[in-house]
Amino acid sequence: MSAMQLGLIGLGKMGANMRRRIADAGHEVVGYDPRPEVSDVASLQELVSTLSAPRVVWVMVPSGPPTRETVETLSTLLESGDLVIDGGNSRYTDDGPHAELLSAKQIGYVDCGVSGGVWGLENGYGLMAGGSPEDIEKAMPIFDALRPEGERADGFVHAGPVGAGHYAKMVHNGIEYGLMHAYGEGYELLSAEPLIDDVAGTLRAWTHGTVIRSWLLDLLVEALKDDPGLAEISDYTTDSGEGRWTVEEAIRHSVPANVISAALFARFASRQESGSPTLKAVSALRQQFGGHSVRPAGS
């Protein structure tokens, strides 16, 4: 694998770990972040001028206006033959306009859903990319550096044209909502039954050999080890948008997404009621895998 140079915009929880993993694979990463203490350069203009053409720039900033503004700025700084990758949790409907804006300057565009949370540095990231075959191939050394070790197809997919990567990640996150809520309900049911003396131990016994073993289950066991009974965490559970978008797509396609919809609505209910062990477990899982902030109990 030949070494590449990459510009990385956004050095938060995900971006900072991605920078380390890519650099550890032998690539040069020039990072930009508004916080000067973590940034390699002082501005987007300096980032672009530091990179050698043809440039590849990965955008890892919050979805919506921050991503849109970053892409618009890059469209004025980059040149023909350069490539922009949006690796944030943008809505897939934003990708077409981004690609169109950049293509007017002969700049390529790839959207890439990234899964792995704060554990991606160690374990690698699951990647779902959308774009032209030529643009995907241009960035493949970076994708290979980020994905887990082993067969490429086990951690990376070229899901389709522009928009497909973020669509795949949206559905991935919708499924995540349902899985987390099912584990939360199981935890609450075990906790409610006097026959069960060891709730955490029961969950741990499911982590190997059973048909419901998963990384999320491992993380729930870890959360209970850190905070038995989840006494230190409230059941207030936020959502970052992808679950809503998944439900909207289910409506558009007339797909009966009962579990994902129920999990999303349960999160809404958590902000109106209090004391749900199920939602405490969901909140704890979000903190475990993604480093998402949670509300302390009693707040």
pLDDT attached to residue 156: 98
- The C-alpha atoms of residue 179 and residue 267 are separated, in whole angstroms, by 13
Note the pLDDT tens digit of each residue in 103-120. 999 999 999 999 998 889
**Mean model confidence pLDDT for the chain:** 94
Instruction: Average the pLDDT over each of 124-128, 204-208, 276-280 and give the range with the smallest value.
Output: 276-280
Q: Which residue among the candidates 105, 122, 134, 176 is catalytic per the annotation?
A: 176
1 pLDDT above the threshold of 60: no
176 is catalytic: yes
For the chain, the maximum distance between any two Cα atoms, rounded to a whole number of angstroms, is 68
pLDDT attached to residue 272: 72
pTM score:
0.90
pLDDT attached to residue 140: 98
Mean pLDDT, range 37-61, rounded to an integer: 97
Note the pLDDT tens digit of each residue in 244-255. 999 999 999 999
DSSP string spanning 131-187?
S-HHHHHHHHHHHHHHSPSS-GGGTEEEEESTTHHHHHHHHHHHHHHHHHHHHHHHH
Determine how many CB atoms are found less than 10 A away from the CB of residue 241.
14
184 pLDDT above the threshold of 70: yes
Determine how many CB atoms are found less than 10 A away from the CB of residue 79.
12
Q: Which residue among the candidates 69, 105, 138, 169 is catalytic per the annotation?
A: 169
Tokens of 270: 């958590």
pLDDT attached to residue 294: 56
Phi/psi zone of residue 7: left (φ > 0), alpha (ψ -120 to 50 degrees), beta? Answer: beta
138 is catalytic: no
pLDDT attached to residue 273: 62
* Contact by Cβ (8 Å): 239, 265: no
Torsion of CA 204, 293, 245, 90, to 10 degrees: -110
Beta strands in 48-117 (DSSP E): 56-59, 83-86, 108-115
pLDDT attached to residue 93: 98
Note the pLDDT tens digit of each residue in 64-103. 999 999 999 999 999 999 999 999 999 999 999 999 999 9
